[in-house]
Amino acid sequence: MSLSLLAGAAALLVHVGEAAAHRPYGLSGKWKLVFSDEFDTPLEPYKWTRCYWWDNNGCTNLGNSELQWYVPNNVLVSDGTLVLRAKRQSVPGHKGRIYDYTSGMVTSGRNYEERGKPDRFATTYGYFEIRAKVPAGKGLWSAFWLLPSTHESKPEIDVMEVLGHAPKTLEMHTHYRDDDGESQNPGSEAIVPDMSKDFHVFAVDWRPDVIIWYFDGQEKWRYSVKEHISHEPMYVLLNLAVGGEWPGDPEASTSFPADFLIDYIRIWKRLDDG
């Protein structure tokens, strides 16, 4: 092949790649990209904070009885990939308690000192997508999810959750409070290829009347009880938890450090009826 043909082929590949980035993986239609990070540069503070909004020299989720203390040093960007790293590492945390694990998280929300300010990024409805690879191992819990800008715990949309002891099971849930204030947690599971072996694309299409979950561009579940779907601005979170009531404690065979790898995050608004 001549040099000119090679150059033309390379330009075509770049063009195809750029076009793919302008719409969700595997979908057609017209879209507007409203938030993205390809993680080709160091983490940008105007896009991300590295703890929950109650950050106090680190943070955790006491409601789930998790075992990790999230620290900024466990959030890295390397070779175009966001790395959320869990380690066996003892550190002081909430009220002086010693945590036996540290890990990493990012959110597009705000920290404790920024409570009076807007989130870094929040939106109502949209298509939320990441390309990621999860770690395997008992006690590891990878997640990509949405929470409301009000700092309430509900509603919540879990785009993907993967428990390390079941890396072929994709967990998809939404959470809301019913008229009595009780938490309701409809969800579904899908058996997919081992998500710890390679990168896969995880996404949710959040609309006013339906939420649709996708894996590698294929629909896996939908929830369409309109009155129980969130209709308020929400921000995004990515985290790797350790332990807790759902995944259980790590075992001796669980390998550390463990990395949740995110190649990119892209969020679109639909420009057509779809």
Q: Where are the domains of the chain?
A: 29-270
Nearest alpha carbon to residue 122 among 223, 272, 267, 241:
267
Whether the bond into 257 is cis, omega within 30 of 0: yes
Rounded to 5 degrees, φ, ψ at 120 are -60, -45
Looking at per-residue pLDDT, the higher value among 9 and 95 belongs to 95
Q: Are 158 and 141 in contact (CB under 8 A)?
A: no
Asked if the model's pLDDT at residue 8 lies above 60, the reply is no
Please compute the mean of the pLDDT values over residues 184-188 and round it to a whole number: 96
Please compute the mean of the pLDDT values over residues 174-202 and round it to a whole number: 96
Asked if the model's pLDDT at residue 47 lies above 50, the reply is yes
Whether the bond into 155 is cis, omega within 30 of 0: yes
Task: Compute the mean pLDDT over every residue in the chain, rounded to the nearest whole number.
Answer: 92
What secondary structure letter does DSSP report for 198? S
Q: Write down the pLDDT at residue 17.
A: 44
Q: Write down the pLDDT at residue 274.
A: 61
Beta bridge partners of 222: 212
Looking at per-residue pLDDT, the higher value among 17 and 260 belongs to 260
**Active-site hit among 66, 161, 219, 227:** 161
Rounded distance, CA 247 to CA 241, Å? Answer: 9
* 152 assigned to active site: no
Q: Write down the pLDDT at residue 49.
A: 97
Tell me the CATH number for domain 29-270: 2.60.120.200
Residue 222: both structure tokens together: 């939908």
Q: Write down the pLDDT at residue 22.
A: 78
**Active-site hit among 38, 66, 152, 156:** 156
Q: Give the predicted TM-score (pTM) of the model.
A: 0.91
Rounded distance, CA 108 to CA 127, Å? Answer: 16
Band of residue 67 on the pLDDT scale cut at 50, 70, 90: very high
- Checking DSSP bridges between strand 98-103 and strand 68-70, what pairing results, if any? parallel
Beta bridge partners of 82: 77, 262
* 113 assigned to active site: no
Helices (H), 206-258: none
Q: Write down the pLDDT at residue 21.
A: 61
